Amino acid sequence: MAAEEESRPWRDAAVRRLISEEEIRTAVEQLGRQISDDYGDRPLTILGVLTGSIMLVTDLIRQIELPLKLGLIQASSYRGTATTPSELRINTTLVPDIADRHVLLVDDIFDTGKTMEGLMESLQSFNPRSIKSAVLLWKKVRTIVDLEPDYHCFLIPDEFVVGYGLDYNDEYRHLPYIGVVESD
């Protein structure tokens, strides 16, 4: 049991709530309505960026009232306990046929913007009709690219956040809110 407890740092850390579960629910509902209004009846392909966007994608697609397809793309620039980005790795093997389709790329957070920029560049080779981006969180103060998310739910301060799909060393994803880990 001791080894199991050592592998779960969240047991010994406090998490300060930054955005509540209710605030997230309300923002995702509003985002779904906005996307539905903007796309009208045009078919849409939602591409969720693994793994952090899973909670957002599942909640968001239930709020979008138009024909849609769902796919996944894998991107990683933070590994393990890293809190600063490293080389971006993209895996497109799970991307469905998006040729001549409107695509909405959904990710958990827009930090420096390099991940989203790399993903959008990579997806151009699939010949989509259009590509837009939607994120739950935007750390605008850290953005270093000439790109902004087309949709976002919350602007957040420059703090390392977890919960609602976001992790630290694959922990905390299960939290229904966004928080900041405060270790003892």
Residue 38 lies in a domain: yes
Quick: pLDDT tens for 10-68.
555 689 999 999 999 999 999 999 999 999 989 899 999 999 999 999 999 999 999 99
Number of domains in the chain: 1
Active-site option among 111, 150, 158, 170: 111
- Give the span between the Cα atoms of 49 and 80, in whole angstroms: 17
Residue 161 lies in a domain: yes
Domain of residue 58 covers 21-183
* Dihedral (Cα; 37, 57, 140, 90), 10-degree rounding: -120
Residue 1 lies in a domain: no
CATH number of the domain encompassing residue 133? 3.40.50.2020
68-76 vs 44-50, strand pairing mode: parallel
Residue 13 lies in a domain: no
* DSSP 3-state of 10: helix
For residue 9, pLDDT beyond 60: no
The pLDDT, as a whole number, for residue 11 is 55
Quick: pLDDT tens for 88-144.
888 888 899 999 999 999 999 999 999 999 999 999 999 999 999 999 999 999 999
Which tokens is 52 given?
A: 């952090």
For residue 6, pLDDT beyond 60: no
Residue 4 lies in a domain: no
Residue 164 lies in a domain: yes
Residue 169 lies in a domain: yes
For residue 71, pLDDT beyond 70: yes
Q: Quick check: is 111 catalytic?
A: yes
Residue 10 lies in a domain: no
